[in-house]
Structure 1
């Protein structure tokens, strides 16, 4: 007598469902592109044209109709190099968001008057769209990476801070009382009780922050954003290289999904008790 584990059966079914939906999407996309519903034709590139643009952006190729002049990728960088530069900028913004947001969230969650005083400012930053203050950051910090990292930090900082506050407020009072009865100091309470209990929420906030950072990267790279995947997506759109722009968008989206999967894997490794009774 044998039985299949639900997770074992569900895994292949899930991947088959994803593969089928991808095939349907590609077929529908190809049909729409071939139907010439939008004029001129290059505004609706087919999947094959997007793939060609992706390959071209990652290889040496001739320009100007001749073979004498060969260029490297797009804007003298391969697409993966544009992506790496953007990842570095996003990484710096996220690191700053964690370094500032986690301690501030712990303080706001444990000291009531600090939360009441600083909370409205965090909510204010969270509600602002990146384009609202990119001009100020460029004026203050210049057109190079500093202004871009600041913008990405401001996108990542609020969700990390708010997630930390929610985690602190979810710590059970019994845990704190038990630690106090054993003679734990205020610092020990924070580092050995509050912070570990808050870690799942911090990682959830980090996942949200990564999403916000990726949605902000194009705005961050509007000014002097090359090399950078967001800057290339914007520039190629302004130059009517729509296939390349779509390729950049797909790379951004797939990279964001991959990063989210990495964070979820880290979450399962670091806080395996989450979601268990």
Structure 2
């Protein structure tokens, strides 16, 4: 189905983090869906942006260079999206590398807990299951571990793997010390970008969301997301108005695992192209 003109999906992941598609494929899929723009927002890496920008020139659509930084507040893992960042800034690259080191430590801890639960799983086999060598700037995410759990028969599919082992509160969940959302916002701003709070409905704590907004330099909030229902959209739209924040949205596309698209397909959640100019202005 073709989208109405001037729509943008501002939240997609690629092979550079825990997505299943090469960056160029995300851009191609966005083009085929009739989108005007797509953002590449991998977890704690900008490794896929150069390839996506090249594909954007090929297909004639706008590629927004982005990132999704992992942080922690109120006992929750909080994600902060950054848009129109300078993806070549050395300071920002070094900060993201430190974030990936923390992710690697978390992965080792998750594997240890799974072993304690009697599941014979190794990080080497998780990486082998990806089917290729990881490039510089790429890292293993929980969906990769979920894939291996499915291959081992410890879970029926990725959702089952998260529910049993990997989601917050599950048997092998680990959340290492993270930077605060306030610092994630500052990093994004110092890289020339615009910080936006990702999928607030997932955190299940609107008071925490409000405290993060009040204590940080956020410029926007992801009102529209594949895991938000109408009630969440209405609530966060009102919150955006209350705090004077930009309204963004995206599918959180990760590709298909075991034939199921995680979160949403590219173009399934969009905002108007006018949001791009708002994001460019807001970072100043």
TM over 0.5: no
Say which one has the larger Rg.
Answer: 1
The structure richer in strand per residue is 2
| Shorter-normalised TM range | under 0.3
